[in-house]
């Protein structure tokens, strides 16, 4: 495999069309591995990390997030919101062009205009496209008298002015527009390639698509006409090319990184964890002396979910429908030990709500979750009619292979209060299908934020979001929660809205449709020569400012 990667480095220079005086060694080629499969380079299908990271290099949107998760300008040089919160007006930058492509006359990219965003957004909600991102607009933009999405919900006032009309205020809408789903595309690309636009992408981003051998490699070249410059007026991006490999074996990817054949890895495998972290979760000094290592808070809450829909049980009854049973199982878990011993202190024990630690509305004083209290767990089981677990059926916990060790830790914790738990390991795709369709009643879950607002996490418990159509996989229904959720969408005062989020989160903790395990952290590894690869709790990847600076007095490996 290492020989294969070395060959691809040389191959970049061939497909590039470099002159014979140039060589791949003189070019700045950034290599990273994506263990998760890449399925599309179309923003309309940017549903997982692999797709989002690749799409992020090829396209731009109206707005984007900075490293502190603030919404800042991108292709929109300014925006405003009407006093009722229903109308968003964007003023576009002039002179931004799509990549040069055969879809345009003479192969030269044309200027991006407001009508391109109208096209891109309408395509996103077109049922025939079946975009996984249609939800961004479906329940928010205005509808006609028949209840259908109005044709005028997106309007190009002129070439550089775009308006979006919502049916009601939605304060986190501007944050949602930073998602890759909302990136702009040219209609000519879809008209020429139709569904094959997925592997013939044309955007406005810092890199231009060159080659995709599915399951093997993806190559993107520097966009020499990129619209953005650095603070000194220098042309971005600094890199000449990006090459993505697709090693599914994370341990193999780590070994490849150690061989300096990969410049960047996000996340570490269980097998390599102890080489990087000591038992206390600190970066080992010997490793940090050779590589750049960053450990950052991550917008990901790991949890265990209960199915609360009575119709999903044969007789309409089950111990899980008793709140005290759910609470007992939550009190039985020592989250500090889980994080310390199973994850080498990578993560923060989840003793507050679903809202993860990095979000500004997180407040452990206002939202009380579950500490380790086995005596209280036993007392609650007794109150529920299952003293020391007697009378409880065997519980099946559904999960995937990546979480077997955590599942075994939980299995042991629950056995100490008399509960018998078996672990059912499934492939990721099968597991997701079963959970989404309510075919399992106890499951391991995680929620990675789509955008940096607690509303995204609270949407998991809103009664109108029941799965499989929505993210409410536990089928939790609570009228007090729903009322707060609806009110929060009309509240523009951040402090008041955060208070509502906290009240919602406390309802979730009290009713216990989920057991929060921990708030995640992620480790990112880089070669020492990598400069300018900023990080944020969204774990996004933006390569437009990345550069290579060879460390002094180091010897390059052959």
What is the pLDDT confidence band of residue 18, given thresholds at 50, 70 and 90? very low
Whole-number pLDDT of residue 248: 86
3-state DSSP call for residue 16? helix
Chain mean position to CA 239: 25
Query: Of 190-194, 268-272, 509-513, which range is least confident?
Result: 268-272
Residue 493 burial (CB count, 10 A)? 9
Distance set, CA 435 to CA 321, 406, 432 (Å): 17, 18, 5
Last residue of some domain: 160, 188, 216? 188
- The token duo for 364 is 């452990």
pLDDT at 11: 54
Q: Mind listing the pLDDT tens digit for each residue in 29-85?
A: 999 999 888 999 999 999 889 999 999 999 999 999 998 899 999 999 999 999 999
Evaluate whether residue 513 is within a structural domain: yes
More confident: 550 or 156: 156
DSSP 194-251: GGGGGGS---SSSEEEEEEETTTEEEEEE-TT-S-B-TTSPBSP--SEEEEE----HH
Long-range CB pairs of 419-423 (<8 Å, 24+ gap) are 419/329, 419/332, 419/389, 419/392, 419/395, 420/389, 420/392, 420/394, 420/395, 421/394, 421/395, 421/396, 421/397, 422/394, 422/395, 422/396, 422/397, 423/396, 423/397, 423/399
Q: What is the separation, in whole angstroms, between the first and last Cα of the chain?
A: 16
Contact 466, 478 (CB under 8 A): no
The yes-or-no verdict on residue 116 having pLDDT over 90 is yes
Residue 3 lies in a domain: no
- State yes or no: pLDDT of 6 exceeds 80: no
Confidence of residue 267 (pLDDT cuts 50, 70, 90): confident
Residue 209 covered by a domain: no
Domain-embedded: residue 534: no
Identify whether the C-beta of residue 533 lies closer than 8 Å to the C-beta of residue 57.
no
Determine contact, residues 272/251, Cβ cutoff 8 Å.
yes
pLDDT recorded at residue 382: 97
Q: What is the model's pLDDT at position 273?
A: 82
Contact (Cβ atoms closer than 8 angstroms) between residue 263 and residue 525 = no
Average pLDDT over residues 497-523: 97
CB 118 within 8 A of CB 164: no
State the pLDDT at residue 155: 98
β 207-213/217-222 pair status? antiparallel
Reading the block at residue 543, the tokens are 């390569």
* Boundary of a domain, candidates 188, 216, 248: 188
Has residue 482 got a pLDDT over 70? yes
Last residue of a domain, one of 188, 219, 254: 188
Asked if residue 490 and residue 347 are part of one domain, the reply reads yes
* Predicted confidence (pLDDT) at residue 536 exceeds the cutoff of 90: no
User: Considering the chain, what percentage of its residues have pLDDT values greater than 90?
Assistant: 80
Before 468, cis peptide (omega within 30)? yes
CB-based contact 409:415 (threshold 8 Å): no
Domain count of the fold of the chain: 2
Domain containing residue 326: 298-520
Q: Say if 554 falls within a structural domain.
A: no
The yes-or-no verdict on residue 120 having pLDDT over 80 is yes
For 280-298, the pLDDT digits (tens) are 888 899 999 999 998 889 9
Domain assignment of residue 507, yes or no? yes
What's residue 12's pLDDT? 53
Q: What is the mean pLDDT of residues 252-271?
A: 90
Query: Which among 522, 491, 449 is positioned nearest to 65, based on CA atoms?
Result: 449
Which pLDDT belongs to residue 75?
98
**pLDDT over threshold 60, residue 86:** yes
- Return the closest-CA partner of residue 291 out of 524, 528, 550: 528
Task: Quick: pLDDT tens for 421-463.
Answer: 999 999 988 998 999 999 999 999 999 999 999 999 999 999 9
Do 177 and 319 belong together in one domain? Answer: no
More confident residue, 147 or 515: 515
Contact in structure between 157 and 163 (CB atoms under 8 Å): yes
Q: Is 407 exposed, middle or buried (0-12, 13-18, 19+ CB in 10 A)?
A: buried
Q: CB within 8 A of 229, min separation 6: which ones?
A: 235, 236
The answer to whether position 213 is within a domain reads: no
Token pair of 195 as six digits = 């569904």
- DSSP letter assigned to residue 404: H
Based on the fold, state whether residues 304 and 182 are members of the same structural domain: no
168 and 312 part of one domain: no
Q: Are 102 and 118 in contact (CB under 8 A)?
A: no
- For the chain, helix (H) and strand (E) counts, in that order, are 17, 19
- The domain that holds 97 is classified in CATH as 3.90.76.10
Q: 10 Å Cβ neighbour count for 466? A: 17
Confidence label for 4 from pLDDT (cuts 50, 70 and 90): low
Per-residue pLDDT averaged across 374-379, rounded? 98
| Mean pLDDT, rounded, for 216-227 | 97
Residues 506 and 370 reside in one and the same domain: yes
C-beta neighbour count of 25 within 10 angstroms: 10
N residues, the chain: 558
Q: What is the pLDDT of residue 16?
A: 52
Q: Residue 307 sits in a domain of what CATH number?
A: 3.10.105.10
pLDDT at 558: 40
Residues 339 and 462 in one domain: yes
Residue 171 lies in a domain: yes
Position 554 pLDDT exceeds 70 = no
Q: pLDDT tens for residues 284-336?
A: 999 999 999 988 899 999 999 999 999 999 888 999 999 999 999 999 999 99
Distance CA 314, CA 151 (A): 45
In this prediction, residue 25 carries a pLDDT of 57
User: Quick one: what percent of the chain has pLDDT higher than 70?
Assistant: 94
């Amino acid at each position: 495999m290492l020989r294969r990667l070395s060959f691809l480095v040389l191959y970049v220079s061939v497909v590039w069309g470099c002159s014979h005086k140039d060589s791949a060694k003189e070019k700045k080629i950034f290599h990273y591995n994506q263990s998760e499969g890449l399925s599309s380079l179309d923003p309309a299908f940017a549903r997982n990390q692999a797709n989002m990271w690749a799409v992020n290099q090829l396209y731009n949107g109206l707005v984007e997030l900075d490293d502190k998760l603030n919404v800042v300008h991108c292709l929109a040089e300014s925006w405003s919101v009407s006093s009722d919160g229903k109308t968003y007006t964007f003023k576009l930058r002039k002179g931004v062009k799509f990549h040069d492509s055969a879809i345009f006359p003479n192969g030269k990219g044309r200027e991006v205009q407001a009508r391109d965003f109208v096209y891109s957004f309408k395509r996103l909600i077109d049922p025939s496209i079946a975009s996984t991102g249609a939800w961004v607009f479906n329940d928010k933009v205005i509808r006609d008298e028949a209840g259908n999405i109005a044709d005028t919900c997106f309007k190009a006032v002129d070439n550089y002015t775009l308006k979006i009309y919502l049916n009601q205020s939605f304060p986190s809408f501007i944050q949602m527009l930073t998602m890759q789903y909302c990136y702009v595309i040219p209609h000519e690309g879809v008209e020429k390639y139709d569904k094959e636009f997925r592997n013939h992408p044309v955007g406005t981003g810092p890199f231009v698509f060159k080659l995709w051998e599915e399951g093997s490699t993806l190559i993107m070249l520097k966009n020499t006409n990129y619209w953005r410059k650095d603070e000194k007026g220098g042309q971005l991006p600094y890199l000449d090319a990006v090459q993505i490999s697709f090693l599914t074996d994370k341990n193999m990817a780590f070994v490849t990184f150690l061989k300096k054949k990969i410049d960047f890895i996000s996340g570490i495998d269980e097998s390599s964890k102890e080489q990087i972290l000591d038992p206390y979760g600190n970066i080992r000094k010997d490793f940090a002396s050779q590589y750049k290592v960053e450990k950052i808070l991550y917008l990901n809450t790991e949890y265990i979910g209960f199915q609360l829909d009575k119709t999903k049980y044969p007789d309409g009854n089950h111990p899980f429908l008793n709140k005290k049973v759910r609470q007992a199982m939550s009190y039985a878990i020592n989250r500090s030990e889980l994080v310390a011993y199973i994850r080498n202190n990578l993560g923060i024990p989840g003793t507050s709500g679903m809202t993860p630690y990095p979000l500004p509305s997180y407040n452990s004083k206002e939202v009380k979750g579950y500490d380790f209290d086995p005596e209280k767990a036993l007392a609650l089981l007794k109150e529920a009619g299952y003293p020391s677990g007697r009378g409880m059926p065997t519980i099946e916990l559904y999960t995937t292979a990546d979480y077997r060790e955590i599942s075994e830790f939980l299995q042991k914790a629950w056995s100490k209060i008399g509960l018998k738990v078996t672990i059912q390991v499934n492939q990721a795709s099968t597991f997701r299908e079963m959970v989404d369709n309510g075919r399992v009643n106890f499951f391991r879950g995680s929620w990675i934020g789509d955008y940096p607002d607690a509303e995204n996490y609270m949407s998991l418990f809103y009664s109108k979001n029941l799965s499989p159509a929505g993210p409410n996989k536990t089928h939790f229904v609570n009228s007090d929660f729903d009322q707060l959720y609806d009110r929060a969408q009309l509240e523009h005062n951040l402090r008041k809205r955060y208070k509502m989020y906290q009240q919602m989160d406390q309802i979730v903790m009290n009713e216990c449709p989920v057991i929060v395990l921990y708030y995640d952290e992620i480790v990112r590894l880089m070669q020492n020569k990598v400069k300018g690869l900023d990080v944020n709790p969204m774990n996004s990847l933006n390569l437009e400012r990345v550069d290579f600076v060879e460390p002094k007095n180091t010897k390059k490996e052959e």
